[in-house]
Structure 1
Amino acid sequence: MPDDDPTAVPADGRLALRADCANCFGLCCVALTLTASADFAMNKEAGKPCRNLRDDFRCGIHTRLRSEGFSGCTVYDCFGAGQKVSQETYAGRDWRREPSTAQQMFQVFPVMRQLHELLWYLTEALTLPAAEPLHAELRRARDVTERLTDSPAGSLAELDVSAHRDGVATLLQRTSELARATAPRRKRRNHRGADLIGARLRGADLRGADLRGAYLIAADLTGADLRLADLIGADFRDAELAGADLTGSLFLTQAQLNAARGDASTKLPPALTRPSHWAA
């Protein structure tokens, strides 16, 4: 359940890739497994509805998720997969009124989410001037991915989405290299997959850095410059982003922002919004 402003419109046409909970059958509240932790106040098996899910598929504690111990719900983002599965793949037939759809629907949802996440990245990649040599390949990859999202439920349930994701990942890596090459050479450091938990990076110049999959949990990035940094898969849980410059960062998602801490001085890409729980 996104913790950002649902009315904000991404500048590059990614509106359809934003979660629309009003048109979803509460799929993230049913299909996924929850493990009791600091992020979730209970254990829940995949396929079992969350105790907070109402009959109308709305969350009964949506405005109190963080105070009730469900901060993980405010971080999760389906990239619009929920409404796609609910309203298009299953044409508005929900798992409560038609229980026979439930098992397959819960299999399809995580596949669709991965496809929509790839569409988010590919759409962003096509906005990058430095990646123009790859635009034709990126458009083909986006078209193929979009066609996959329109597949029948049975095909989606059996799709080898990991194989498709691997192919797109290679293309996005090439895109990243072209974009980051425009940053000052001495700044393009490789921190891919690095353990930067709790790192003191206040004011750091990270322009063009490769931070793919980096562990930035509770890192202090106050005032850091992250322009042109590749942030795919970087773990920003409880990272301090007050005053950080994320404009022009590569492949940042709303979920990553929702997991972090920031304030009114944090500079964001136009396609993303300031989380409501951030400091004023």
Structure 2
Amino acid sequence: MRADCARCFGLCCVALTFSAASGFPEDKAAGKPCSRLRADFGCSVHGELRQRGYHGCTVYDCFGAGQKISRITYAGRDWRQDPGAAGEMFALLPVVRQLQELLRYLTEALTLEPARPLHGEVRTARERVERLTLADPATLLAVDVAAQRSAVNPLLLRTSELVRAQLPGRRKSRRGADLLGARLKGADLRGVELRGACLIAADLRGADLRQADLIGADLRDTDLRGADLTGALFLVQGQVDAARGDTGTRLPPSVARPGHW
């Protein structure tokens, strides 16, 4: 459930739209290869993406969808070898990416001891979603991703509630809150529900975010220097990559410290 670009045929570099407004130095239409994509599907400026203005590339995470489509769905057949299937491959990327994201959350839910009463249901849901990711292209293109999310979301909500209930006191929900640029330096946000919250450019230096539910929270340019995210729920790599942090930022083991921090 982590991107492995070396095993992918550069699908995100072709399938997705790039625009200067969303963190790229140029506009690129969907289905058109990026000008930096090499013949071997590697990136000619991979080590300098931020310096070259490809900020959007550094925060995009396919959750392993790219290599799954490349190596399993199409068994190593790339879009250059089979241009007739290229459009189908590119159309599958957002579908499989969302399914892989659900797998990532369900897998984490199975590691959370307070949610053990739900593990049977979570495991069943995970097996169902994983079977879908291994299906043939026609089946995948017919998947109702919204329905899959609707089926999984109640389980993730109940998982979150069970984990956060272990903390003393009642915790205010900030679900979907507009906290753009909010000054929350040193705030006690332990166990707070921040699902889908807009925390763009918020000041969270030194904040305590242990066991906070961060699923879907927008952390672009959020200042996490010195913040404690130990045990933060459903935090994924793309969120961390989009934020600002330092050596004092404490992260859960499920995400890596970005190289640009």
TM normalised by structure 2 equals 0.98
Out of 247, 254, 258, which is 1:271 matched to? 254
Out of 42, 45, 51, which is 1:58 matched to? 42
Out of 147, 151, 158, which is 1:174 matched to? 158
Give the alignment of 1:240-255 within 5 angstroms: 240-255=223-238
Q: Does 1:105 pair with 2:117?
A: no
1:37 is paired with a residue of what secondary structure?
Answer: helix
Letter in 1 for 2:180: I
Give the alignment of 1:91-240 within 5 angstroms: 91-186=75-170, 188-240=171-223
Worse-superposed segment, 153-162 or 244-253: 153-162
Out of 24, 28, 37, which is 1:44 matched to? 28
Letter in 1 for 2:231: G
Asked if the contact 1:38–1:69 (Cα under 8 Å) also holds between the matched residues in 2, the reply is: no
Displacement of 1:184 in angstroms is: 2.4
- The CA RMSD measured in Å over matched residues stands at 0.9
Q: Which has the higher contact order (CA 8 A, sep 6+)?
A: 1
Corresponding residue number in structure 2 for 1:29:
13
Q: What is the aligned-residue identity percentage? A: 64
Q: In structure 2, how many angstroms separate the alpha carbons of the residues matched to 1:222 and 1:33?
A: 33
Paired residue total: 261
Instruction: Flag structure 1 segments of 5+ consecutive residues without an equivalent.
Output: 1-16
Q: In structure 1, how many angstroms separate the alpha carbons of the residues matched to 2:167 and 2:76?
A: 47
Letter in 2 for 1:83: Q
Displacement of 1:202 in angstroms is: 0.6
Q: In structure 2, how many angstroms separate the alpha carbons of the residues matched to 1:70 and 1:37?
A: 11
Letter in 1 for 2:203: D
Asked if the contact 1:184–1:207 (Cα under 8 Å) also holds between the matched residues in 2, the reply is: no
Q: In structure 2, how many angstroms separate the alpha carbons of the residues matched to 1:213 and 1:183?
A: 21
Q: In structure 1, how many angstroms separate the alpha carbons of the residues matched to 2:195 and 2:46?
A: 31
Q: In structure 1, how many angstroms separate the alpha carbons of the residues matched to 2:125 and 2:199?
A: 30
Displacement of 1:38 in angstroms is: 5.5
Stretches of 4+ aligned residues off by more than 4 angstroms: none
Per-residue deviation, residues 238-279 of structure 1 (Å, max 9, x unmatched)? 01101111111100000000000000011010111100000x
Q: In structure 1, how many angstroms separate the alpha carbons of the residues matched to 2:255 and 2:241?
A: 10
Per-residue deviation, residues 15-53 of structure 1 (Å, max 9, x unmatched)? xx1111001000111111112225111111111111111
Q: Does 1:76 pair with 2:60?
A: yes
Per-residue deviation, residues 94-118 of structure 1 (Å, max 9, x unmatched)? 0011101101101111111111100
Q: Does 1:258 pair with 2:241?
A: yes
Worse-superposed segment, 161-170 or 245-254: 161-170
Q: In structure 1, how many angstroms separate the alpha carbons of the residues matched to 2:235 and 2:7?
A: 25
Instruction: Flag structure 2 segments of 5+ consecutive residues without an equivalent.
Output: none
Worse-superposed segment, 131-140 or 157-166: 157-166
Q: In structure 2, how many angstroms separate the alpha carbons of the residues matched to 1:39 and 1:69?
A: 7
Letter in 2 for 1:267: R
